[in-house]
């Protein structure tokens, strides 16, 4: 609202917004955009009620829950592989299991 929609509604010639970095899960660098005749807002919450006064046309894409999960898991595979490589390097480098007072198995669910 504050970074894009309100400035656009006031006719400002340049918009500035902070890009969200999905890998670090925080706001990243500032982006600058010169508005054109159309603005496309995408994302699951792009049709939220507070945006209604600024939206002239909305599209909702219906996708099966299982398909959304499959796509999400597929998209996160690279992230998890990087995370696990860092985890493996940490364990090799520091051997935290050797300093633990108790080592428990994490392969099976706890009853």
Based on the fold, state whether residues 47 and 73 are members of the same structural domain.
no
Based on the fold, state whether residues 19 and 43 are members of the same structural domain.
yes
pLDDT value for 110: 66
Say if CB 17 and CB 33 are below 8 A apart: yes
What is the extent of the structural domain holding 36?
5-54
Q: Is position 43 within any domain?
A: yes
pLDDT band, residue 111 (cuts 50/70/90):
low
Based on the fold, state whether residues 50 and 74 are members of the same structural domain.
no
Based on the fold, state whether residues 9 and 37 are members of the same structural domain.
yes
Q: Is position 60 within any domain?
A: no
Q: Is position 103 within any domain?
A: no
Q: Is position 10 within any domain?
A: yes
Number of domains the chain contains: 2
Q: Is position 12 within any domain?
A: yes
Based on the fold, state whether residues 21 and 49 are members of the same structural domain.
yes
Q: Is position 74 within any domain?
A: yes
pLDDT band, residue 23 (cuts 50/70/90):
confident
pLDDT in tens, 28-84: 999 998 988 888 888 878 888 999 999 889 888 889 999 999 998 988 898 889 999
Tell me the CA end-to-end span of the chain in Å, nearest whole number: 47
Distance CA 30, CA 73 (A): 29
Strand segments (E) across the chain: 15-21, 26-33
């Amino acid at each position: 609202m504050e970074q894009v929609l309100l400035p656009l509604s006031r006719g400002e010639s340049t918009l500035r917004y902070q890009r969200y970095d999905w890998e670090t899960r925080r706001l990243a660098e500032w982006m600058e955009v010169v508005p054109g005749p159309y603005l496309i807002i995408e994302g699951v919450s792009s049709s939220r009620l507070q945006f209604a006064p600024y939206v002239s046309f909305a599209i909702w894409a219906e996708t099966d829950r299982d398909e959304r999960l499959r796509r999400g898991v597929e998209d996160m595979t690279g992230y998890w592989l990087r995370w696990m490589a860092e985890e493996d390097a940490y364990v090799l480098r520091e051997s935290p299991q050797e300093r633990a007072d108790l080592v428990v198995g994490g392969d099976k669910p706890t009853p």
